[in-house]
Amino acid sequence: MGSSKRATPARGQRRAALVAVAAEMFARKPYGEIYISEIAEAAGVAHGLLFYHFKDKRGLYLAVLEQVRDEILELHKPREDEDTRERRLRGLFRRHIRYRRSHVHTMLALMRAGGQDPEADELFKRARQAGAEFLLDLLGLTEPPPSVRIATQGIMGMLDEATIDWLTHDCDVPEDELEQLVYRATVAILSSVRSAHPGICQVVDELDSMA
């Protein structure tokens, strides 16, 4: 019984190591261009071990997407030096942009799923919702009026579309320029719904003054 307890963490560690190797490969190449034999070779394991942990390539891919979702959720946590709303918002956009650039193919697959893969859609929906919740927290709201709710969802959609275009054009503008573009667009969207909730006017003015 004691040996069984000791074996469980080892299996968990092996599984995590395989997900880490696969995540790096899926970030560099499209899903269809990667074979399970390549992943096994890169991880230095037999095919059977991958099938034991994940059943097939799709099972491994979904495990990678779950890890990506968790990493995206971490992006929404403010850093110690982000002591103003402007710094928090810019920090969020900066982290998203850099993460997406370093996980190009994985993020493009997630953002482009669009109903073609329900499981991938659900994972990305949770990550996008976290972004909308971040914005509502920034505005000091828990139950926003419909127009503000729509605006926050639209901001996250704008970020997705902006980075898709950027990534598919070989990141042809500097990261800080893209960050500024997304920041200004966010302020413009929030400014358009400020009348729906007078309580956000001060926050929007503060963000606008730093745009």
CATH classification of the domain holding 16: 1.10.357.10
Residues 196, 95 share a domain: yes
Are 141 and 46 within one domain? no
| Residue 114 pLDDT grade (very low, low, confident, very high; cuts 50, 70, 90) | low
Sequence-distant (6+) residues with CB within 8 A of 123 are 62, 65, 66, 68, 69, 110
Q: Which two tokens stand for residue 180?
A: 């500024």
Residue type at 51 in one-letter notation? F
Whether 90 and 118 map to the same domain: the answer is yes
Instruction: Give residue 179's identity as a one-letter amino acid code.
Output: E
Per-residue pLDDT of 163-207, as tens digits, reads 999 999 999 999 999 999 999 999 999 999 998 888 899 999 999
Q: Does residue 6 register a pLDDT over 60?
A: no
- The mean pLDDT of 99-118, rounded to a whole number, is 83
- Return the higher-pLDDT residue of 78 and 164: 164
Same domain, 78 and 140: yes
Average pLDDT estimate for 41-62: 86
Quick one: pLDDT band at residue 3, thresholds 50, 70, 90? very low
Q: Is residue 98 located within the same domain as residue 196?
A: yes
Regarding whether 171 and 96 lie in a shared domain, the answer is yes
* Domain count of the fold of the chain: 2
Closest to 97 measured CA to CA, from 200, 17, 188, 180 = 180
Token pair recorded at residue 179:
């960050």
How much is the average pLDDT of 106-133? Answer: 83
pTM of the model as a whole: 0.83
Domain residues for the domain of 184 are 69-209
177, 119: one domain: yes
Measured distance CA(141)–CA(200) in Å, rounded: 8
What was the pLDDT predicted at 7? 44
